[in-house]
C-alpha cells in the first residue's frame, strides 16, 4: 500500500529536513505545497521561482530520499492578478516532477480554462473535495476525497465512483475509527493512493504502520 503524507506537516526547518522525516518514518510519497514548504514563497512568486532550476532541485531531492511526489498543491483564484501566469508556472513545475496538480479553488463553474491548460501541458488535475462537496467536473479532472476528523462518515458508494485518491485523518487510523476499514478497502480495490493528514511527530511512523496493517488485512480479504 502506497501510504503518503503532506510534506508541510513534517517537522523540520528546511525542505530537506522534512523530506528526511518522511523517509525515516517509512512513507513512500508526499504531497508538496510550495507555499507551505519553500522559504518566503507566495503564490505570486510562482512565475519567477518555480522555474526549471527549482524543479530540478526538488526532483533530485525526492530521488535522493527515495520518495515520490504524489501531487503539487496550488490555490487557484481566477480573479487574482496574473492568475493564469501563476497557474501556468505551477503546471510546468508539476509536469517536471511528473506529478498531478492538486488545485484548490477549482469548481465546475471555473474549471474550463484550467482544464484546457492542464490538458495542453499534459498534467493531471486533482481537485480536493470533502464528501458532501463531490461534484461533476469536466472530463480530465480527478477528485481527491478529503475526510473530516472523527468520527468518519460511513463510505457511500457514489463517493467511491468519483475519487482517485484519499486523504484520511491520522487520528482516525490511530484510534481505530470503524469506518477506516471501508475506506482502505476502497483504496485497495482500486489501487488509490492514500495520504494521512494531521501527522504528529511522535506518532507519524506508528500511524503509517497501522494504515499499512489495515490495508494488508483488506488485501487478504480481497484475495490479493
The pLDDT value given to residue 223: 65
Mean pLDDT value across the chain? 92
**pLDDT tens sequence across 39-86:** 889 999 999 999 999 999 999 999 999 999 999 999 999 998 899 999
Extents of the domains making up the chain: 3-221
The pLDDT value given to residue 2: 83
Query: CA 15, 16, 18: angle at the middle one, nearest 5?
Result: 65
User: What's the farthest any 2 CA atoms get from each other in the chain?
Assistant: 53
H helices, E strands: number in the chain: 10, 8
Provide the whole-model pTM.
0.92
13 pLDDT band, cuts 50/70/90, is confident
Could you tell me which of 85, 68, 130 has the C-alpha nearest to residue 104?
A: 130
Calculate the CA dihedral of residues 158, 160, 165, 170 and round it to 10 degrees.
100
The pLDDT value given to residue 16: 93
The pLDDT value given to residue 215: 87
Q: With respect to CATH, is domain 3-221 assigned 3.90.320.10? A: no
CB 222 within 8 A of CB 188: yes
Mean pLDDT of 1-18: 92
Mean pLDDT of 154-163: 83
Amino acid at each position: 500500500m502506497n501510504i503518503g503524507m503532506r510534506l508541510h506537516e513534517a517537522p523540520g526547518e528546511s525542505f530537506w529536513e522534512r523530506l528526511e522525516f518522511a523517509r525515516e518514518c517509512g512513507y513512500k510519497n508526499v504531497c508538496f505545497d510550495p507555499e507551505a514548504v519553500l522559504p518566503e514563497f507566495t503564490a505570486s512568486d510562482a512565475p519567477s521561482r518555480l522555474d526549471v532550476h527549482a524543479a530540478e532541485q526538488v526532483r533530485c531531492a525526492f530521488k535522493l530520499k527515495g520518495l515520490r511526489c504524489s501531487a503539487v498543491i496550488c490555490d487557484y483564484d481566477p480573479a487574482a492578478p496574473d492568475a493564469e501566469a501563476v497557474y501556468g508556472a505551477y503546471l510546468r513545475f508539476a509536469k517536471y516532477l511528473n506529478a498531478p496538480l492538486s488545485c484548490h479553488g477549482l469548481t465546475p463553474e471555473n474549471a474550463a480554462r484550467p482544464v484546457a491548460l492542464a490538458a495542453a501541458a499534459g498534467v493531471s488535475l486533482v481537485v480536493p473535495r470533502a464528501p458532501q462537496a463531490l461534484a461533476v467536473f469536466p472530463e480530465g479532472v480527478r477528485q481527491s476525497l478529503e475526510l473530516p476528523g472523527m468520527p468518519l462518515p460511513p463510505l457511500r458508494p457514489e463517493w467511491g465512483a468519483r475519487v482517485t485518491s484519499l486523504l484520511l485523518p491520522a487520528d482516525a487510523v490511530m484510534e481505530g475509527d470503524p469506518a477506516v476499514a471501508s475506506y482502505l478497502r476502497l483504496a485497495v480495490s482500486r489501487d488509490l493512493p492514500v495520504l494521512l493528514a494531521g501527522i504528529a511527530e511522535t506518532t507519524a511512523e506508528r500511524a503509517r504502520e497501522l494504515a499499512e496493517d489495515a490495508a494488508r488485512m483488506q488485501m487478504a480479504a480481497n484475495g490479493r
